[in-house]
Structure 1
């Protein structure tokens, strides 16, 4: 909302300068986004009249002008403007005047003395371009300061209003708020009913009273539509960002800005029959004032006559009934349209108007008729004519139910103690009617405050008027206690710290990804599609994090980073028959050498087992790895990670086709795990350090190639022999001495008794029992 400060001060003039007024508005919730002068600074420029003109003796394009500046003595000024002529009134910068960028001095121009300069709009900083002197009205007073003539000592305020403050989308609304804030006297234009001078009426039918609860209008005959819009009105419109078009259109725009009530003027002679407010019919089209032809939809409210739609109600008028300079009879309309009927329609048509912006947020339905009377009086004043009687069709207007305000609740929310008298003072300033019952109020908001619906809205009003600066900033006070934290529960930061300690760097990527990633990289044929994606390559919700890691890897490789370690903790999204779910995952990528280049260690490419060590640490060493297939990972070098009997993720080498597609010189190792299972750990328990030494025995067995090492480990551990301290694999052999389709696995077994020293016979018995289990369940044979 942009407006002229001088216009506002005509209605309310607080004892504040421009900066103070801007601060007061901002601190009251009406943020002043910008405040700038309407014109560049200049001085000693007055209205002058060229009395005579003669050709310069030494320059074809220059003229010597005798100029009356109101001092009683004519000044000689050399001027090169093509429109300089006797009788013209134009701005004159006197000697000593300061214009934007330069200062006027007495000078000789081609040998002729010049005592000032006749000015164009460009030279005064009032226009970007100009073709000659700024021509002033014939009635302009000679010698008057140009700044006073054009009211240039003015500032433009631009408010960044929140959507709920539609009452301040008008000068009157802002003036009401300034009065409440400062206590200054409110002096609004007097609006009196205009008496009908003729009996002419326009027949109106409201077929949709719920969509248009109030409709008013009147015929005005014999107007001079070609009349010039007064300069004061043009200035106010232009300083509010509205271009002057014609007198009647300017008047409707002026009342819109002043009162906040959109109006529309129809050329009455172009109307065919009565007017009807109805919804559009199938197949109807309308050419709007912006020359856009639209196909009307059944949910669009229109103003129509017998021939069809005339205007899109509350949004924009139609071209067929628009007023022009030839118009002599008009039908002036002022209506209240329900916000729900207007909202979204202009946006659907890819434009916005001042009318739709206000109607879809709610305008003052009590001001519909006064705004019509205000516009009528301005039309008669500027364009003449004879007004007909007012037509008003009234339906069920929006209810304004009272809102309860409790002093106790007010104190609790604001943190300050206010009395009932303080609240009454605020309500009176806002002109809110109320009923008091001890420390409670039943407040009925006025028709122009659509935003007052709940108790918190009234609390906000009290805070605004009391002054946010007057509410002390009290630090919160709370008892500090150590909260219980279960030892078995880890924090996500532990996962971050663990990978960061291993040289991994965290990234953050979009939750929106390319559909091809989901379909091809993760094998998700039906990802969750976004209704309004921000880009074509960010059209679905991700079910995995690898896409972002691979994209970041390419970014680093393109910048000559040959060793990359990345991880991300982020949400993934899944669709189910009964709705959607969100799962937080941790994903990692390793690329390049296993260790940074150094002299003491030969270079080696990172492999599956390097990354598996990181996963083992994250999973607490309790995870199982089951061979599986994944569309993003290399067949035969892929495992599903299982923790406590549940599959929680994947680890593997990038599939060769993806390595080729991303043009990677080497392959990458990836993993991805669900976060929640990783945060549950077994609590460590103390056991006494044994006094007796352990016994190590080694056992090598030959088994079929298809038998997994994990299966053998699980079998031996299932014996749960109390003497067995640990079992570990230390060698895998295939080759000479081992039959085709077989492999040799060597295990170390630590045997220990906490009560005594073991004998060889006891240790041998333990090893024999383990071998028997392997023979029986896996067909293993002891390797000699």
Structure 2
């Protein structure tokens, strides 16, 4: 671009007719101060300037600004600003001054009138703050709730790439195919992840090498099952390494185990509004979990879709990665498999009621077949009377001497409490017999002498 005097004037909106009048005024000043005669001024023009006009409706002023001024006041303001005015029935035909190139439409006239009459006359109206529709959808609310719920249990959130190192991904792809990236940002991030574990275990290993002995991290994001659009799902994935209560003077330290991961998963789903009484848990898990120290969770006994996996990471994987920790447990919650509750979280909250009457705790030991799970016993006992049985806790599972082969002993503590009266010995005895009969009929168990 060439910088010229004309460009300097025109790009700043200088009056195009000011050159001729300016020359005449300058010449008169020189004659007055210095004397002499003014010669004929020769002005070369490419084009003759044509005045612009706007058809203005005075009624539009009130429609735009919200307040009213008289037509007489409008005329005075516009004449003082240099506009030439001709009335045409309900409209005003305005000739725009040459020094106002910024005015090109009707709303610019309204702005000039408001500027002179006073902006303070415009009344301030606050926007309506009522929400007819929620900002987030149900699935988006669930996403953010699970994010906060996991963080509240002591996990630190990690944000990693959706692609990962194939050396780590191979340990966690299970039966899925490896999805290679055609143009990766680096050779170490050459595949789309089949599991978030492949990223989390990489970074938890780095933090353990830096001296962070006890660490829990999680991420919520996509995993990929194929290269086609839609072949992905959203998962909440967490890893915990090290010990609980390390160097504590009040609690005994122990390794983190599968029950810690199970508690975090179950508690999170309960907080999200799902009924724990309907949960079904078995031991079928992907090959990257420790067999016998892991489980999968369904929202009901129908086993429609897997809601979550939890358990210890397989020891062979820990050896291959050479991760420096006593134990490593993890979980995966599949958000896309969680059926959205019809009620909101606020509507699902129930009133907390405490009984004023004394509770009674009774212990039972049942001998069952090895294929019968502890959950089966709990479900059988809870079906006896929901109003009286307030808590069921398994405190021992035993296999060995004095127990028949292919069977095991499960010891259960049951808390019995009424909201209506103090239960006497006769009432408790009836409930005890009913519990034993129900468990024996539903599971084939035998009460241990």
TM-score range, shorter chain: 0.5 to 0.7
The alignment's C-alpha RMSD in Å is 4.5
Instruction: Name the structure 1 match of 2:22.
Output: none
Instruction: Name the structure 1 match of 2:318.
Output: 659
| 2:172–2:194 CA contact under 8 A, matched in 1 | no
Tell me: CA distance 1:765–1:600, structure 2 relative to 1, closer, same or farther (3 Å): closer
Tell me: CA distance 1:556–1:184, structure 2 relative to 1, closer, same or farther (3 Å): farther
Instruction: Name the structure 2 match of 1:768.
Output: 433
1:87-123 C-alpha deviation (Å, 9 max, x unpaired): xxxxxxxxxxxxxxxxxxxxxxxxxxxxxxxxxxxxx
Instruction: Name the structure 1 match of 2:127.
Output: 478
How far does residue 588 in structure 1 lie from its aligned partner after superposition?
A: 1.0
Q: Distance in 2 between matches of 1:421 and 1:548?
A: 71
| 1:574–1:580 CA contact under 8 A, matched in 2 | no
User: 1:741 aligned to 2:406?
Assistant: yes
- How high is the TM-score relative to the length of structure 2? 0.63
Q: Distance in 2 between matches of 1:542 and 1:476?
A: 52
Tell me: CA distance 1:713–1:691, structure 2 relative to 1, closer, same or farther (3 Å): same
Of 362, 372, 377, the match for 1:697: 362
Instruction: Name the structure 2 match of 1:783.
Output: 448
Q: Could you tell me which runs of 5 or more consecutive residues in structure 1 were left unpaired when the two chains were aligned.
A: 1-6, 16-178, 186-414, 430-435, 440-474
Q: Distance in 1 between matches of 2:15 and 2:202?
A: 62
Which has the larger displacement, 625-634 or 529-538?
Answer: 529-538
1:372-426 C-alpha deviation (Å, 9 max, x unpaired): xxxxxxxxxxxxxxxxxxxxxxxxxxxxxxxxxxxxxxxxxxx9xxxx999x99x
Of 286, 289, 297, the match for 1:630: 286
Matches within 5 A, 1:568-587: 568-575=219-226, 579-587=229-237
Q: Distance in 2 between matches of 1:573 and 1:478?
A: 44
Tell me: CA distance 1:496–1:183, structure 2 relative to 1, closer, same or farther (3 Å): same
How far does residue 741 in structure 1 lie from its aligned partner after superposition?
A: 3.0
Q: Distance in 2 between matches of 1:522 and 1:495?
A: 24
Counterpart of 1:670 in 2: which secondary structure?
Answer: strand
- How high is the TM-score relative to the length of structure 1? 0.38
Instruction: Name the structure 2 match of 1:144.
Output: none
Instruction: Name the structure 2 match of 1:308.
Output: none
Instruction: Name the structure 2 match of 1:409.
Output: none
Q: Distance in 2 between matches of 1:594 and 1:768?
A: 40
Of 3, 16, 20, the match for 1:9: 3
Instruction: Give the total of aligned pairs.
Output: 345
How far does residue 688 in structure 1 lie from its aligned partner after superposition?
A: 5.4
Matches within 5 A, 1:533-552: 533-552=184-203
Q: Distance in 2 between matches of 1:649 and 1:421?
A: 74
Q: Distance in 1 between matches of 2:332 and 2:196?
A: 8
Q: Distance in 1 between matches of 2:132 and 2:168?
A: 43
| 1:518–1:525 CA contact under 8 A, matched in 2 | no
Of 325, 329, 344, the match for 1:669: 329
Q: Could you tell me which runs of 5 or more consecutive residues in structure 2 were left unpaired when the two chains were aligned.
A: 17-64, 66-91, 107-123
How far does residue 491 in structure 1 lie from its aligned partner after superposition?
A: 5.6
Higher strand share: 1
Instruction: Name the structure 2 match of 1:367.
Output: none
Counterpart of 1:727 in 2: which secondary structure?
Answer: strand
Tell me: CA distance 1:421–1:10, structure 2 relative to 1, closer, same or farther (3 Å): farther
Instruction: Name the structure 2 match of 1:236.
Output: none
1:165-224 C-alpha deviation (Å, 9 max, x unpaired): xxxxxxxxxxxxxx5665699xxxxxxxxxxxxxxxxxxxxxxxxxxxxxxxxxxxxxxx
How far does residue 735 in structure 1 lie from its aligned partner after superposition?
A: 3.5
Counterpart of 1:732 in 2: which secondary structure?
Answer: strand
Of 290, 293, 297, the match for 1:641: 297
Tell me: CA distance 1:675–1:11, structure 2 relative to 1, closer, same or farther (3 Å): farther
Over alpha carbons, which structure has the higher Rg?
1
Tell me: CA distance 1:507–1:8, structure 2 relative to 1, closer, same or farther (3 Å): same
Q: Distance in 2 between matches of 1:512 and 1:767?
A: 56
